[in-house]
Amino acid sequence: MTKFVHKPYSTIFVRDMIKMSLDDLLNMMSTIESGNAYWVDGVLFASFAMTDSEELAKKEIQGETYLDKIIFAKYENYTKTAKLSTNIEINILNVQKSQLYRDLIDWLKKQPVWDE
């Protein structure tokens, strides 16, 4: 019988946090191939991992990971899609049930960039 173990990351290092207007965030997401944005607790966001390397793979095994950046905008209520001012529509995934993402957004809201 296979044993399954859930082991969350012990540490996630975030290199950059970028607060954007909703339109700018959606515009950026529309240019990315998998143009989905995520929503948790009044925040629309996307996170970008660092480029894979052997060193980063070793850290992943040890429970650490690195995010190159998180882009975000305040977005009070969840909707399945959001439209840019140019009428391009972006899918939004509600990841409110993810403890990892709830913790991330809770942490983000305590950072100085949140109030900029």
pTM: 0.86
Residue linked to tokens 């942490």 = 107
3-state helix, strand, coil in the chain (%, to 5): 25, 35, 40
What is the tally of structural domains in the chain? 1
**Does 3 reside within a domain?**
no
Going residue by residue through the chain (116 aa), what tens digit of pLDDT does each one get?
999 998 889 999 999 999 999 999 998 888 876 667 999 999 999 988 877 788 878 888 888 888 899 999 999 999 999 988 888 888 999 999 999 999 999 999 999 999 98
**Does 87 reside within a domain?**
yes
**Domain that residue 55 falls in:** 11-115
* Pairing mode, strands 36-40 and 43-49: antiparallel
